[in-house]
Structure 1
Amino acid sequence: MYKLRALFQQKLSQQKVSLFIALYLGILLNIPIFYRRYHQLHYNNGLSLLVEMVAAFALVYFLTVLVSFTGKTVFRLLLSIVIVSSVAAGYYMIVFNVDIGYGILASALAFDSLDLSKESVGNHFIIWTILLSLIPLIPLWFSKMPGASLRETTLRKLGLKLLLLVVSGLACWVPLKLMGDAQEAHDKVSNRMMASYGGVVAGTYSPSNWLSALGLFIYSSYSQAEDNKNLFDPAKHFTYVPPKDINDLYVVFVIGESARRDHMGLYGYGRDNTPNLDKEKNLAALQGYSCDTSTKLSLRCMFVRMGGAADNPERTLKEANIFSVLKSQGFSSDLFSMQSEAWFYNKTKADEYSLRESIASEKRNAGKPVDDMLLIDEMKDSMARHPQGKHLIILHTKGSHYLYSERYPRSFARYQPECMGIDDACSTEEMMNAYDNSLLYTDYFLEQVFNQMRDKNAIVIYASDHGESISKNMHFHGTPRDHAPIEQRSVPIMVWASDKFLADDQNRQGFQQLQLMAKNKTPAYHEKLFDSILGCLGYTSPNGGIVEQHNWCHVQAAGSH
């Protein structure tokens, strides 16, 4: 250990270490990303890539110079965190081509989602992170580090550091600004509307992607806009008039996970992985589009009125959701989940809710696999406790969340071979097979939900939170929505109704509008769920509480969805 320290102290100063870390994190760790980015650029690829490499290097060097003002111990600690975090992020960026944005970071850092985060961490990830972090950590901790605090720094050295800080900052910002202006001018001529060039670059490379996402996460965590007392409550500002037969109605909302409709037989996919849904005559399968690309972000924007969640990266909540509005209308409600988004569940104002851990710990579930079918018994019990109706049940599934093969029992492993483990070298075909099997199980699960409601006055709505990328070039989800591929936004939205519900003329006419939308493949957006749920239940609002143009069941609005 002494010899190693002596070797580095003889050869490396703080400035040289900073340059090495900037080269390692800014350039070397991003090489596969540069390669992919080159093939994605649509304007002056070679020059754009050179500019982005310079900016990536300059940004990391700017950070190292900035941190050097804190003193050598803090300098080492902070840069160690940056290094390890960047290497960890690089694993998913390089191996799975995941864009590290706010949604991914929020899911990874939130304690109420650890059950899903840990399922994406395997031995390969741990080995990768340790080995690739050691390369810059060794010179960082064993090289010569003279005092670097403001007190210990001479005026001349301080001036030099400030100059390096300004130069590296300008070297990062100026080329991006010039290239962004050139691209914007080119896009105007080509009649293209593209996202901000600098913003896309910042969200593409490490460490700028996860650092900017971390900043948004910290800001969002302390934002008062999320507090219930500050949320605009539609129930307090609008009048909602219920239909005459609302008192015995059951409403079930199933929140899907990572399902994309182009992989479902019901939507024309080549594989028949929705045999039960195909046979349902009282089902409208809509061409859904999600409002965002990760669970946390979609849960913020898919159940509020259009504009009820801010159009910022963190989707700051501004309004109360549809479930709390139904609560104010006298509905009892229960929520059962295979996930752990407690922040969202609290905002539904459900009378009771149970998460995966408590559901799995029930005596009747001893020895059973923890999958979505456990929700069916919870649903049965909920209905038994509310035999009179006017009851809402929310089911939050694990659906098709990676690792797909863990989402269904072996009896549903129809498509082979499957991707079976996080550390397996799975081909795209194996991943798709496992993904399609998970949707086959979703089909079975939804059939069991419908079966509980067939003799009731009931309506069931299913919507996936977001889609999923599965290809050689990209995997998973969570890509910032301004440049996310379409498969991460293309989701199934389905509405099923019982015969008793459709016996009412108004309900039947509204459902016919849903079927017409399905037939015409009219887009159905998450942002219109609020108005459509109320409208399809038969509610009206004389003072604007329901925007009829957003109500899929509004008869006169059949062609304007």
Structure 2
Amino acid sequence: MGFGDNTAPPSRALCMPSLFSSKTQRSPLLLAWLTALWLGTLCNWPLWKALLALPETGSPRGLLFMLAFAGIITGVLASILSLAAWRRVIKPVAALLLISAAAGAHFMGTYGVVIDDTMIVNVLQTDARETRDLLSLRMLVTLVLLAGLPAVYLWRTSLASLGFGRQLLRNLVGVLLGLALAVALLMACFADMASTMRNHKSLRYLINPLNSYYALGQVAFKKSSKPRGPPQIVAADAVLAARPDGRKPPLLLLVVGETARAMNFSLNGYARATNPELAKLDVLSFRDVTSCGTSTAASLPCMFSHLGREQYGNSKEVHQENLLDALQRAGLAVLWLDNQSGCKGICERVPNAMAHIAASGAPTLPEALCNGPECLDGALLHGLDQRLEALPAERRAKGVVLVLHQMGSHGPAYYKRSPADLKPFQPECKTNVLQQCDPQQLVNAYDNSIVYADHVLAQAIAWLQQKTSGFDPTLLYLSDHGESLGENNLYLHGMPYAFAPREQTHIPMVLWLPGTGSAIDRGCMRAKLEQPLSHDHLFHSVLGLLGVQASIYKADRDFFAGCKQGQ
């Protein structure tokens, strides 16, 4: 080539294959390992954040352990993805893992939650209203960075076709190498791994996205092993005891709160006036009550079961009837009224309705209460007279149980749970990205939701007071679980019960009895305000309160026991 030749030699950079070139054909196995590396490192940032907060990792040895941990996760993921390292399979499988890992990283990192089978059930049962409250710009950014960018590279990469035999051999080698890497690193740091996992069990639920798919598998297994057909009958012998002469039929308004924590009730000593209306009504507030679970999906079925938390959690046979079935079998009129994402199967065999659908004959729901299917809890009381009258007359004559399932203080959009005229604590947090809120503004928004719950309960009591001529009314309110508001960098709820903070399990329980004519002795109940109670007591206490006799009834779980007039 002479000096006058204008043809330049090809650039060495252009001759070398580029890892990021969309024109260069890649092995599906390489794509599988690159995806595993991305998932095992960047998509597990909530795990690394949790590990860095531990005193055990504040040394060079701790940092080496974290690197080994990342290598173990990467090796396991690479081994799994190697099984899918086929030309037409790897891209959709990798994309699915990236999206699920990005979503998991967002929720674990933003709210401090962990992902187990209970959390998966919550996700599967979440309605559109709750889903909207979880969407945010931060979530979009996380999805774009952790899933969108690598997904673009995935789909732009051309994959080589090696033939079935060669690709199978390579994939098997990839599986073995991934397992070998994971096992070698685990053996190298086994002592540190065993100690860390033993002392901080919640870390296992942060291994992303393996935690999500393991939990999903648990849910699928439980569902597949659930007996087919109708549920097992509970309290088959339930009957109403004879009512004393002159005693009116009972009317129980059982209000199931949502995400309310006892420590934010001024009735329980909280410094702020979050219960201004109930405080004037001489209600009884039980101060040491514990929930069955830390989420609606776990607590609601458990609290209406006769089994109790420990037996319910360990029982493989939970396809059983519940409290509402027993009450209906005894002859009482039962109605479940819902302002949330459903009753989790509890109300399937009793009359039930949604709060945003007005009762027959009742006025149209005002816009101040409902915006389409999204309603404030005041909608539960709208048309309650018409709903009561629609129940069978022969059952009403024996007694009525109305269950109101509130939206309560459901987060993260706490500011949506109270109307503009009932927000005494200002300024309040008005975003669902709770970590971006000033801590006091976050508490303000939450406390405003408690003030509104107080207002709704006071209105419910006023309605009951109008029914004293025909019924013996009682209101019992208790929440399904509590809530974390940033304590220990935890938000929302749903932590595994074994290490859930008290904020998520310590719940309020409030009882209202009429001033005169009640079958329950108020003074006797007042003496029990400090007694440790739990959701385990609900089934048996309601049977006892309403005079339902059944062999399944346990007097030691009836917190009304010994307090009935004439006992």
Aligned to 2:464: 453
Deviations 1:353-377 (A, max 9, x none): 2124424998611423321001112
Pairwise CA distance, 1:408: 0.9
Pairwise CA distance, 1:337: 1.0
Deviations 1:383-411 (A, max 9, x none): 33456461111101100011111111111
Pairwise CA distance, 1:279: 2.2
Aligned to 2:367: 367
- 1:159-174 pair list within 5 angstroms: 159-168=172-181, 170=183
Query: Is the Cα contact below 8 Å between 1:250 and 1:458 reproduced in 2?
Result: yes
Alignment of 1:537 onto 2:553: no
Pairwise CA distance, 1:213: 2.0
Q: Larger Cα Rg: Structure 1 or Structure 2?
A: 2
Q: Distance in 2 between matches of 1:295 and 1:203?
A: 19
Q: Distance in 2 between matches of 1:208 and 1:132?
A: 16
Deviations 1:118-175 (A, max 9, x none): 22112332233123312322333334534488645264x3552242243245358657
Pairwise CA distance, 1:36: 2.8
Pair 161,42 (structure 1): closer, same or farther in 2 beyond 3 Å: closer
Aligned to 1:408: 418
Pairwise CA distance, 1:299: 1.0
SS in 2 for 1:554: coil
Query: Is the Cα contact below 8 Å between 1:52 and 1:201 reproduced in 2?
Result: no
Deviations 1:75-100 (A, max 9, x none): 11111111111111211222222222
- Root-mean-square deviation (CA, aligned residues, Å) is 3.4
SS in 1 for 2:235: helix
- 1:354-393 pair list within 5 angstroms: 354-359=353-358, 364-369=364-369, 370-385=375-390, 388=397, 390-393=399-402
Q: Distance in 2 between matches of 1:522 and 1:412?
A: 32
Amino acid in structure 1 at the alignment position of 2:107: Y
Q: Distance in 2 between matches of 1:242 and 1:148?
A: 78
TM-score, with normalisation over the residues of structure 1? 0.84
Q: Distance in 1 between matches of 2:188 and 2:258?
A: 40
Alignment of 1:438 onto 2:449: yes
Aligned to 2:497: 481
Q: Distance in 2 between matches of 1:9 and 1:130?
A: 23
- 1:22-421 pair list within 5 angstroms: 22-40=36-54, 51=65, 54-70=68-84, 71-110=86-125, 113-147=127-161, 151-153=165-167, 155=169, 157-168=170-181, 170=183, 178-179=191-192, 181-182=194-195, 200-225=202-227, 229-231=230-232, 233-236=233-236, 238=237, 242=241, 244-245=243-244, 248-307=249-308, 312=313, 317-347=318-348, 349-351=349-351, 353-359=352-358, 364-369=364-369, 370-385=375-390, 388=397, 390-402=399-411, 403-421=413-431
Aligned to 1:20: 34
Pairwise CA distance, 1:268: 0.6
Pair 149,460 (structure 1): closer, same or farther in 2 beyond 3 Å: farther
Query: Is the Cα contact below 8 Å between 2:32 and 2:90 reproduced in 1?
Result: no
Amino acid in structure 1 at the alignment position of 2:559: W
Pair 296,487 (structure 1): closer, same or farther in 2 beyond 3 Å: same
Give the counterpart of 1:490 among 480, 503, 506: 506
TM-score, with normalisation over the residues of structure 2? 0.83
Query: Is the Cα contact below 8 Å between 1:243 and 1:539 reproduced in 2?
Result: no
Which is further off, 407-416 or 115-124? 115-124
Which is further off, 354-363 or 405-414? 354-363
SS in 1 for 2:528: helix
Deviations 1:231-284 (A, max 9, x none): 3x2212x55552525761111111100000101111111101101222222424
Query: Is the Cα contact below 8 Å between 1:58 and 1:168 reproduced in 2?
Result: yes
Consecutive unaligned residues in structure 2, runs of 5 or more = 1-16, 370-374
Which is further off, 49-58 or 522-531? 49-58
Aligned residues: 528
SS in 1 for 2:120: helix
Query: Is the Cα contact below 8 Å between 1:419 and 1:433 reproduced in 2?
Result: yes
Give the counterpart of 1:550 among 529, 541, 557: 557
SS in 2 for 1:415: coil
More helix by share: 1
Alignment of 1:527 onto 2:536: yes
Q: Distance in 2 between matches of 1:216 and 1:433?
A: 38
Which is further off, 199-208 or 470-479? 199-208
Amino acid in structure 1 at the alignment position of 2:79: V
Consecutive unaligned residues in structure 1, runs of 5 or more = 184-194
Query: Is the Cα contact below 8 Å between 1:273 and 1:436 reproduced in 2?
Result: yes
Amino acid in structure 1 at the alignment position of 2:214: S
SS in 1 for 2:102: helix
SS in 2 for 1:373: helix
Which is further off, 251-260 or 20-29? 20-29
Q: Distance in 2 between matches of 1:56 and 1:478?
A: 26
Pairwise CA distance, 1:74: 1.6
Question: Aligned residues: percent identity?
Answer: 22
Pairwise CA distance, 1:32: 4.2
Query: Is the Cα contact below 8 Å between 2:82 and 2:171 reproduced in 1?
Result: no
